[in-house]
Amino acid sequence: RQGAAEEGGEGLSRTASKRQKRRLEAAERRKEAKKARRAADKEAQRAKVAARRAERQAALEALPEAERAEAAAAGRARAKEERRRASEAKNATAARLEAAKEVGVKLAIDMRWADDQTEREMRSLCFQLGQCYASNRTCPDPCCLYLAGLSEESHSAMRRVTSGVDGWRGAVFDRRPLLEAFGDEKERVVYLSADAEEELGEMDRDTVYVVGGMLDHNSKKGSTQRAAQDEGWRSARLPLDKYVQLAGSKVLTVNQVVDMLLLAWAGNHHGLGWDDCWRHAVELAVPQRKRKGYVKGEGKAPGEGGACQAAYATIERAAKEKLGGGGGDGETGSRDDEGAAPTAGNAVDAA
């Protein structure tokens, strides 16, 4: 029997080795496929640039010789101005994100469950965190993304999935668990959970909003609410029921929750009341596939944009219409007027 047990153990070991080998091979295939996609994207971009250059050259050659030099000089000046504007916009974005670490709303991701997830779950979570960062970059009043309890193992996983993660501006990577990071200021922390009794109303710049950093499958149901209760955090749920009928679970992905918070905060930045802020945020952040009555392949396609530039522009337009077009082109009324709390944007302007 002992021999049979040893033989069975060796068999399990061989099976595990084969499984691990397959996982490593699959990871290598994904890595190579990602490289191939990037190379193809770069080649396509080079082709577009070459085509535009050829088109401009053909247009120049079609001009009379007397006008050709003047047109070429005007084209060079226009290109230089475009590069200058792009550089200024990039620098302004970087400055706003850095300022958000000091004056922005803190959106904390509780990473305590990350190391217990499967490799596939962790890869999905890392992708969602990348989406959160991308959404925050384009927010008119960006927040501080605060990853609490981020272990070295999880940090390494993020580096493998998302390139440039260590260069994220406006983000804080903290090895300390949430309780250690914010335990001395519990009164200003709200843990978001679909199982909470209280509904989130207005957002506040001085409040830390915590999102559970995990893929909340059935096996982890209720984990965020239990964590909030065990550690004494105030908990609240997003106001989904007011604005949408969901087909099933009210649990959203990490990036969908963060997108909703960012969009609601953007609405407040542009002067909308909180009811309008949440209505637009829910409409733009909750995918169609989660809504009651959605049939795959019929009607409107699933809305997967989230808190992208188009979504922020939609909220800005809604604010202009609601406030009677005040503020002129490209500007709307904002709650951050003289004497109000500083935003990441006006903090940069003041500097």
Question: Measured between alpha carbons, how far is 216 from 114 in angstroms, rounded to an integer?
Answer: 11
CA 349 centroid distance within chain? 24
Cα distances from 151 to residues 75, 158, 179, in angstroms, run: 51, 11, 15
- The predicted model scores a pTM of 0.76
**Is 258:135 a contact under the CB 8 Å cutoff?**
yes
Pairing of strands 208-212, 106-110: parallel
What's residue 152's pLDDT?
95
Placement of tokens 């964590």 in the chain: 227
Where residue 162 falls (left for φ over 0; alpha for ψ -120 to 50; beta otherwise) is beta
Question: Measured between alpha carbons, how far is 298 from 133 in angstroms, rounded to an integer?
Answer: 32
Question: Which helix or strand (DSSP H or E) is residue 95 part of?
Answer: helix 65-103
pLDDT per 10-residue tile (average), the chain, 351 residues: 50 66 80 85 89 84 81 84 87 87 94 90 93 94 96 93 91 96 94 93 95 75 90 94 80 92 96 94 87 62 66 92 62 44 54 42
Structure tokens at 275: 């009811």
Q: If you write DSSP's letter for every residue of 235-291 in order, what string do you get?
A: EEB---TTT--BSS-----HHHHHHHHHHHHHHHHTT--HHHHHHHHHHHHS-GGGB
**Is 213:113 a contact under the CB 8 Å cutoff?**
yes
What's residue 230's pLDDT?
94
Q: If you write DSSP's letter for every residue of 290-306 in order, what string do you get?
A: GBTT--TTSSSPP----
Question: Measured between alpha carbons, how far is 140 from 136 in angstroms, rounded to an integer?
Answer: 9
Strand order in the sheet with 189-192: 171-174, 144-148, 106-110, 208-212, 189-192, 234-236
**Is 200:238 a contact under the CB 8 Å cutoff?**
yes
**Is 225:211 a contact under the CB 8 Å cutoff?**
no
**Where would I find the beta strands (DSSP E) of the chain?**
106-110, 144-148, 171-174, 189-192, 208-212, 234-236
**CB proximity list for 159: less than 8 A, separation 6 or greater:** 165, 166
50-73 burial by CB neighbour count: b if 16+ within 10 A, else e? eeeeeeeeeeeeeeeeeeeeeeee
Question: Measured between alpha carbons, how far is 314 from 29 in angstroms, rounded to an integer?
Answer: 39
**Four-point Cα dihedral 251, 252, 253, 255, nearest 10:** -150
